[in-house]
A and B are shown apart, each in its own frame.
Chain A
């Protein structure tokens, strides 16, 4: 049973527009959420995170929104740039010393010129 779900395997967005990547989770015990970005042949790199005490966290062009009641989070990238083309993984964990993070299957984002 997948605890973290990214239902869109791929997404294409025009350069300059907003990219919205979605993620759903099933475990209500999760209270820390992360997004990772992965280029081909490289390991994932941390992008942005949000704790369950917040509903929004912003870092430059990247904003993560958390809707706890819907168990849903989203990553907004605006404006989208060619270098944003990558696979984006949503991840979740429970706080405290349990650092085991559960990842989604990823969404491949294509930024179109």
Chain B
């Protein structure tokens, strides 16, 4: 079956512009996560959606970052007024959300802010 997909795969933008990153989770997965991997760093948790519950936004680095999950499926991560330090690979993952912590990752979106 289809895995987690993300688009675009690469995005180059100018400092100060807004960007939107999209994630399509595996069908039937109720939990969805966004992570960021900067150069030389581990995976940094950003935000977590579980079903209809309020998302866990505790990892969002600033109020320029926001995410939505429409209809419990597709999610969009939006970064407003991008800064150079936002350059990273943004990874989306999904899981069944039943307590099975195995997460399935998408290929990531590589964001470069010039």
Q: Give the interface of A toward B (CB within 8 A).
A: 4, 6, 32, 34, 36, 41-46, 49, 89, 91, 93, 95-97, 99-106
A-side contacts of B97, CB under 8 Å? 99
Q: Does B95 contact A (CB under 8 A)?
A: yes
Given A44-B91, A44-B105: A100 in contact with B41 (beta carbons within 8 A): no
Min C-beta distance of A61 to chain B, whole Å: 19
User: Per-residue CB proximity of B26-70 to A under 8 Å, as 1/0?
Assistant: 000001010100001111110010100000100100000000000
CA distance A106 to B42 in the complex (A): 6
The smallest C-beta distance from A43 to any residue of chain B, in angstroms, reads 3
Interface residues of B (CB under 8 A from A): 4, 31, 33, 35, 40-45, 48, 50, 56, 59, 91, 93, 95, 97, 99, 101-108
Question: What residues of A have a CB within 8 angstroms of the CB of B42 in the complex?
Answer: 4, 6, 89, 103-106
- Asked whether B93 lies within 8 Å of A32 as measured between CB atoms, the reply is no
- The residue of chain B having its C-beta at the shortest distance from the C-beta of A6 within the complex is B42
Given contacts A99-B95, A99-B97, A100-B48, contact A46 B102 (CB under 8 A): yes
**Residues A99 and B105 in contact in the complex (CB < 8 Å), given A43-B4, A44-B43, A105-B40:** no
* Shortest Cβ-Cβ A-B pairs, 5 listed: A43-B105, A103-B43, A105-B42, A103-B42, A44-B105
In the bound complex, CA of A104 to CA of B95 (Å): 20
Q: Which of A4, A43, A95, A96 contacts B93 (CB 8 A)?
A: A43
User: If A104-B42, A105-B42 touch, does A46 touch B99 (CB 8 Å cutoff)?
Assistant: no
| Docked-complex contact A32 and B108, CB < 8 angstroms | no
Does the CB pair A49–B102 fall under 8 Å?
Answer: yes
Q: Which of B4, B41, B44, B99 has the most CB of A within 10 A?
A: B99
Q: Are B31 and A99 in contact (CB under 8 A)?
A: yes
- Given A99-B31, A100-B48, A100-B56, answer yes or no on A41-B43 (Cβ-Cβ < 8 Å): no
Smallest Cβ distance from B6 to chain A, in angstroms? Answer: 8
